[in-house]
Chain A
């Protein structure tokens, strides 16, 4: 059971209110995702905090949870002022 591109984008955007997420399938197997996330909420966060915040949203769907997502490559960005 894997997630579709739109599903993972919605999952992130719902989890981080107001975020914009662009998902890219890294391996063609729909379980290794490159995620580019633009969100004002990252303001003032260290890279570690920003990535941890994203992972908190994804964890129930990762190997510890349902396993739909095997690996993610996260890039966090602030919206252009």
Chain B
């Protein structure tokens, strides 16, 4: 499990915008995952997804990192932002854009 944890932590640190979802960018397999993918598509920013169904150990490992029981889970600039609800609330309140811009700038 620790090797997977290290891989996930590295992906989180190295990817400015990273979404753990059910399904992936092209084929989300859950409404909430699709909704949050749509937010980042609307913003037109580069982002990556990790499909928790790819490996059954991903989900428990992720939960041990964030202590957040549900999917999707969103990381921006290596920081856990929250689930789909929080990202949608931040997007609606205009708070997501500056966080995204800061993370993308830092990755330059």
Contact = CB atoms under 8 A, between A and B. Distances in A.
A6 interface: no
B68 A52 contact: yes
Interface residues of A, number: 15
A63 B86 contact: no
A31 to B, nearest CB: 13
Contacts of A32: 31
Interface in B19-69: 30-32, 63, 67-69
Interface string A13-57: 000000000000000000010000000000000011001100100
B69 A62 contact: yes
Interface string A53-81: 00100010011100000011111000000
A55 B70 contact: yes
B101 interface: no
Contacts of A75: 85, 89
A63 B89 CA distance: 24
Interface of A: 32, 47-48, 51-52, 55, 59, 62-64, 71-75
